[in-house]
Amino acid sequence: MIDVVVPTIGRPSLARLLASLARSRGPRPARIILVDDRRDRTEPLALGELDDDLTRRITVLAGRAAGPASARNAGWRVSRATWVAFVDDDVLVDETWLDDLHADLAGLPLDVAGSQGRVTVPLPEDRRATDWERNVAGLATSRWITADCAYRRADLLACGGFDERFPRAYREDADLGLRMVARGKRIVEGRRHVEHPVRPARWNVSVRLQAGNADDALMRALHGRDWRARAGAPRGAFRRHAATVAAALGALGAFALGKPRAGRALLAAWAAQTGGFAWRRIAPGPRTRAEIAAMLATSAAIPFAAVYHRLRGELGVRALLADRERAPKPLPPAVLFDRDGTLVVDVPYNGDPERVQPMPGASEALERLRAVGVATAVVSNQSGVALGLLTREAVDAVNARVDALLGPLGPVLVCTHAGGDGCGCRKPAPGLLVDAARALGVRVEDCVVIGDIGADVEAAQAAGARAILVPTERTRAEEVAAAPLVADDLRHAVSLVLDRTA
């Protein structure tokens, strides 16, 4: 199942995007989640004329007007689909995009966290492109660009989604990609295609874009000095801008100290650097009077804006790194629960649904997981079947009762073998856990296992998953001592999962 998430600030292009989705051939997404990130939402979003089927699939959420990273997080967190496809509100999907999206995602192995679409930027055919148009055209070669990128929801959970400390549509996609790759995941290229038209912009847009230099300071702090090479991001012209600003400031200082010869030399260096920068922007363009004037004015201002924002970013990095509220909060994609003694009171070899009694706090704990979209499953040893004390039908009836009392629990996997059968599924063997993770479409290594005895912990460790022990009166002292993490009760165990202290 696939959901589409679109962050929007209410631009007219949103209606054109939705119209292109309506025209596209292929299975429609389960939901189209529009995150309205406008500060002023007194007027409803203009969605255009859509058919009833597409309209029914649209959900509009109120964003926090905190930027696209925050808006995308709000969208994928309410999704319950396996895959979440992100597109921007200023693109157009092509006529086969839906078919191609499903083909791109079908059968991808679990080590693939994302699939990037192809982006093209239409440029004028009757003249040379302006500096702004060439800037937008760079999106066609950007890596991991969220103008069209789909991610497995389990992987978004596992890495915490987008980092909301990136307030602009800049670097938040590269940051997410680097964190995915650091977890051993791949992001592959798909065959689907979107078109990203160049929207109108003011003549000084290039100066305003220099605010992104503050985000580069955060990228270096988070990912190291080589982040550009790993993210496929071009180095840019910051070093030249810094040299230009240094020449200008040096000239002012020399004149102030009564050294006019040095001042004139440094001023000439500033002029040469600024003129060269302006020409590199003017030469490939249409060279109209308006374009030349804009390039001359902005080329003088850009170095100072770039250095100012980089310094602002460097000075603010420490506070951003300490900002846990907006930082990504990784969660496991799934929690695998033991049944007897963990979710329900342990009744030995119980085959009677009427004797099922939830453990204290079980409903509350499960609701907390559901609220944030963490999947669940049940993995239970039921050797009573092999011993002739139960039937498989009785086990299934008890499981159905547990599900009815505690809500949908996801896949329920049981091992009906006895202890000496030598199977690979009976805990402490990892088989049940591996199968449960496979049924959920996640890696077992990313899961958390919660149980009440040592066999649950040992099964988790054998599978490479994290384990939390919730002891009961039948838990042996040596099992408690050997457990990597012990919770007071089920509520506490889920708090450890969600607070990432496990």
Residue 500: predicted pLDDT: 57
Asked whether the beta carbons of 456 and 380 are under 8 A apart, the reply is: no
Sign of the four-CA dihedral 229, 162, 241, 204 = positive
Residue 420: predicted pLDDT: 82
Which residues touch 457 (CB under 8 Å, ≥6 apart)?
428, 449, 451, 467, 469, 479, 482, 483, 484
Instruction: Give the β-pairing of 58-62 and 31-36.
Output: parallel
Residue 501: predicted pLDDT: 40
Q: Catalytic amino acids?
A: 338, 340
Q: For 344, which DSSP code?
A: B
pTM of the model: 0.87
Phi, psi dihedrals of residue 316, rounded to the nearest 5°: -95, -5
Residue 236: predicted pLDDT: 85
3-state secondary structure of 335: strand
CB count within 10 Å of CB 1 equals 12
Asked whether the beta carbons of 415 and 427 are under 8 A apart, the reply is: yes
Give the residues across from 151 on adjacent strands. Answer: 84, 114
Residue 419: predicted pLDDT: 82
Asked whether the beta carbons of 35 and 73 are under 8 A apart, the reply is: no
Residue 179: predicted pLDDT: 96
The DSSP code sequence of 84-128 is EEEE-TT-EE-TTHHHHHHHHHTT--TTEEEEEEEEE----SSSP
pLDDT averaged per 10 residues in sequence order, the chain, 502 residues: 96 96 96 96 93 96 95 95 96 97 95 96 96 95 94 94 95 96 95 96 96 96 95 91 97 96 97 97 96 97 97 96 92 95 95 95 94 93 94 95 94 92 92 95 93 96 96 94 95 89 39
Q: For 2-200, which CATH class?
A: alpha beta
Measured distance CA(354)–CA(259) in Å, rounded: 95
Identical fold between 2-200 and 334-499:
no
Nearest to 30 by CA among 9, 7, 56, 51: 56
CATH 3.40.50.1000 for domain 334-499, yes or no, is yes
- Spans of all domains in the chain: 2-200, 202-326, 334-499
Residue 422: predicted pLDDT: 85
